[in-house]
Amino acid sequence: MSDDLLEKTISNLTSRYPELTFCSSDTFYYSPHDKTVYYDASKTDVSSLWSLLHETGHGVCGHENYFSDVQLLLFEVEAWKEAKLIARNLQLEIDEEYMQDHLDSYRDWLHKRSLCPACDLSSIQVDADTYSCVFCHKRWKVSDDRFTRPYRKSVSGR
């Protein structure tokens, strides 16, 4: 991807989505607080363009806070679907395998968090940072940081 294509894409996105702000940063993310899509202008590979479109998808979908791990995964799926539509409207295409690889990272993260530390079976999330095993009834806390390894800390009583 050339700098020209990035500038042209940002210009198109700015005119198509005036409710969003686009701002150069050192990483790609969407901030619902200021409705800003942050992008790394130093990245010139095509996957960076796809990341820009994905983060724009979060903004177009109006994603804000999520309250469960499954909801976060659903936000990611929805943002990628929207990114595909945005790409199509800009005569661009996002590689399906690239999207699925990113979604797999969230699926893997969710699966690891949901595994019971006692019996190693998948369990259910009962609140933002607690899971409970329906088989052995163990409860554990998980980190609220989705960028860290999914540590599991036992909750007292079980």
Domains identified in the chain, total number: 2
Has residue 43 got a pLDDT over 60?
yes
pTM: 0.89
Same domain, yes or no: 69 and 102: yes
Has residue 152 got a pLDDT over 90?
no
pLDDT category of residue 143 using cuts at 50, 70 and 90 = confident
- CATH number of the domain that residue 63 is part of: 1.10.10
Same domain, yes or no: 64 and 131: no
pLDDT category of residue 148 using cuts at 50, 70 and 90 = low
Same domain, yes or no: 149 and 92: no
Q: Write out the residue range of the structural domain in which residue 137 sits.
A: 116-154
Same domain, yes or no: 78 and 94: yes
Same domain, yes or no: 133 and 82: no
Tens digit of each residue's pLDDT (9 = 90 or more) over 68-87? 999 999 999 999 999 999 99
Same domain, yes or no: 50 and 92: yes
Beta bridge partners of 139: 132
Same domain, yes or no: 121 and 107: no
Tens digit of each residue's pLDDT (9 = 90 or more) over 92-122? 999 999 999 999 999 999 999 999 999 999 9
Measuring CA to CA, which residue among 152, 150, 133, 138 is closest to residue 72? 150
Same domain, yes or no: 93 and 143: no
